[in-house]
Amino acid sequence: MRQDATAADIRGVVEAVEARGYRAHPIPGAQRTAIGITGNKGAEEAPVFETLPGVLEVIPVTHAYKLVSREVKPDDSVVRVGGVPVGGPELAIVAGPCAVESREQLLTVARAVKAAGAQLLRGGAYKPRTSPYSFQGLGEEGLKLLAEAREATGLPVVTEALDSESVELAERYADAIQIGARNMQNFSLLKRVGRARKPVVLKRGMSATLEEFLMSAEYILAEGNYQVILCERGVRTFSDFSRNTLDLAVVPAVKRMSHLPILVDPSHGTGRREKVAPLSRAAAAVGADGLMIEVHHDPNRALSDGPQSITPDMFEELMRELRQIAPVIGRRL
Ligand code: PEP
Ligand code: MN
């Protein structure tokens, strides 16, 4: 739409789109509102929309993914999680334990990461574990503890949902819903969070191409939830010195193709505590909008992902380093 398009102009286009049996997705941006159209057959109707009041131009989107593409929305999206912006000039740091284990554990870690400057708290109440005998998470009890930790620290909460039942609960207790790597192509789950009223952190599948990653995000936007944050967490390669290979090159690639913000998770991306800080610094340098980092006050006794969890002291040191890096790359922290 033109920069001076009115709310009535936008409504007029939405109505014209819907009258043809298509779906309209008005996506407000910094400069102008873009209206994505899905469900249409081809570009032959472009002239019909082009003549409507307030319309600047009609751009046929050439990629399979549409709403996530920069063709539909040229400027960066900023997604707010409980008021914390992800995708703007500020680096967003999400930190916390892999799993919520107990009140004492969660509050200890939450207070430590808050003191060090994290803006968001992470913690899993539903854990997708490789083994059915591993700790599966505290379920709703864990979500209640996360809500309590938010009360205590003021940090908005990000937590994973595994199915429609946990989405419903996460929607109620948390500020953002995480879809894990193992569920990146669980299309019914993607459609479900597409109807959620909370932002979604979508993690890259462990063998997903960039196009598959963006198509999964498209599922969520296509249902009307435009508050999607991507997260690179490493992919499987032949490399055997780390749990996964953190694909930092995907960050500038995403930035070129999509307006969505992207976080980097160097914890799952490396699987080793000593690699988390170096890869965090690299992620910030390569243009990530923020980091997701696993922190535990007693990692050797953690119920999940202890070997990749850093201590509060290590986290504090990392935050100091990131604060020095941020201004050099035009970011704030
Ligand atoms: C997690 O964040 O704890 C997690 C399970 O991540 P991923 O889905 O990336 O493995
Ligand atoms: Mn984990």
Q: Hunting for tokens 């070997």 — which residue is that? A: 307
For residue range 268-278, list pLDDT tens digits in order: 999 999 999 99
Query: Which ligand has an atom closest to residue 295 CA?
Result: 2
Quick check: is 157 in a domain? yes
Percentage with pLDDT > 90 across the chain: 93
98 pLDDT band (50/70/90 cuts)?
very high
Tally the domains of the chain: 2
Q: Tell me the two tokens of residue 303.
A: 């119920």
Question: Do residues 179 and 91 share a domain?
Answer: yes
Quick check: is 236 in a domain? yes
Q: What Å distances lie between residue 183 and 118, 253, 313, 327, CA to CA? A: 26, 22, 32, 35
Q: What pLDDT, on a 0 to 100 scale, did the predictor assign at position 18?
A: 96
| Single-letter code of the amino acid located at 249 | A
Q: Identify the H or E element spanning 144.
A: helix 140-153
Residue 242 CB-half CA count within 13 A: 22
Question: Do residues 177 and 216 share a domain?
Answer: yes
Question: Do residues 28 and 147 share a domain?
Answer: no
Quick check: is 166 in a domain? yes
Quick check: is 61 in a domain? no
Q: By alpha-carbon position, which residue is closest to atom 1 of ligand 1?
A: 98
The Å distance, Cα 84 to ligand 1 centre, comes to: 21
Q: What pLDDT, on a 0 to 100 scale, did the predictor assign at position 45?
A: 82
The Å distance, Cα 99 to ligand 2 centre, comes to: 7
Question: Do residues 138 and 16 share a domain?
Answer: no
Question: Do residues 109 and 22 share a domain?
Answer: no
46 pLDDT band (50/70/90 cuts)?
confident
Quick check: is 233 in a domain? yes
- Return the ligand 1 atom nearest residue 183 CA: 8
Question: Do residues 83 and 45 share a domain?
Answer: no
62 pLDDT band (50/70/90 cuts)?
confident
Q: By alpha-carbon position, which residue is closest to atom 10 of ligand 1?
A: 181
CA-to-CA distance for 202 and 192, rounded, in angstroms?
Answer: 13
The Å distance, Cα 196 to ligand 1 centre, comes to: 20
**Is 44 a residue whose pLDDT tops 90?**
no
Q: What is the mean pLDDT of the chain?
A: 96
CA-to-CA distance for 324 and 86, rounded, in angstroms?
Answer: 19
Query: Cβ distance 27 to 10 under 8 Å?
Result: no
Question: Do residues 228 and 291 share a domain?
Answer: yes
Quick check: is 59 in a domain? no
Question: Do residues 103 and 236 share a domain?
Answer: yes
Q: By alpha-carbon position, which residue is closest to atom 3 of ligand 1?
A: 98
**What's the burial of 83, exposed, middle or buried (CB within 10 Å: 0-12/13-18/19+)?**
exposed
DSSP letter assigned to residue 257: H
Question: Do residues 183 and 123 share a domain?
Answer: yes
Residue 210 CB-half CA count within 13 A: 16
Residue 306 CB-half CA count within 13 A: 10
Question: Do residues 102 and 241 share a domain?
Answer: yes
Q: Identify the H or E element spanning 294.
A: strand 290-294
CA-to-CA distance for 297 and 305, rounded, in angstroms?
Answer: 13
Q: Tell me the two tokens of residue 236.
A: 């499987």
Q: What pLDDT, on a 0 to 100 scale, did the predictor assign at position 63?
A: 84
330 pLDDT band (50/70/90 cuts)?
very high
**Is 42 a residue whose pLDDT tops 80?**
no
What are the DSSP calls for 212-246, one per residue?
HHHHHHHHHHHTT---EEEEE--B--S--SSSSB-
Quick check: is 74 in a domain? no
Angle between helices 140-153 and 164-173 (to 10 degrees): 20
As a whole number, mean pLDDT of residues 249-256 equals: 98
Reference 109, options 299, 318, 320, 329; nearest CA is 299
| Pocket of ligand 1 from Cβ distances under 6 Å | 98, 124, 128, 180-182, 203, 233, 268
- Return the ligand 1 atom nearest residue 231 CA: 9
CATH number at residue 230: 3.20.20.70
Question: Do residues 266 and 170 share a domain?
Answer: yes
Q: Tell me the two tokens of residue 267.
A: 């914890």
For residue range 185-244, list pLDDT tens digits in order: 999 999 999 999 999 999 999 999 999 999 999 999 999 999 999 999 999 999 999 999
Reference 217, options 90, 115, 77, 104; nearest CA is 77
For residue range 149-197, list pLDDT tens digits in order: 999 999 999 999 999 999 999 999 999 999 999 999 999 999 999 999 9
SS3 28: strand
Q: Label residue 299 left, alpha or beta by phi (over 0 means left) and psi (-120 to 50 means alpha).
A: alpha
Quick check: is 153 in a domain? yes
Q: What pLDDT, on a 0 to 100 scale, did the predictor assign at position 191?
A: 98
| Single-letter code of the amino acid located at 308 | Q
Q: Give the residue numbers spanning the domain of 39.
A: 7-50
Question: Do residues 86 and 39 share a domain?
Answer: no
CA-to-CA distance for 266 and 279, rounded, in angstroms?
Answer: 6
**Is 27 a residue whose pLDDT tops 80?**
yes
**What's the burial of 242, exposed, middle or buried (CB within 10 Å: 0-12/13-18/19+)?**
middle
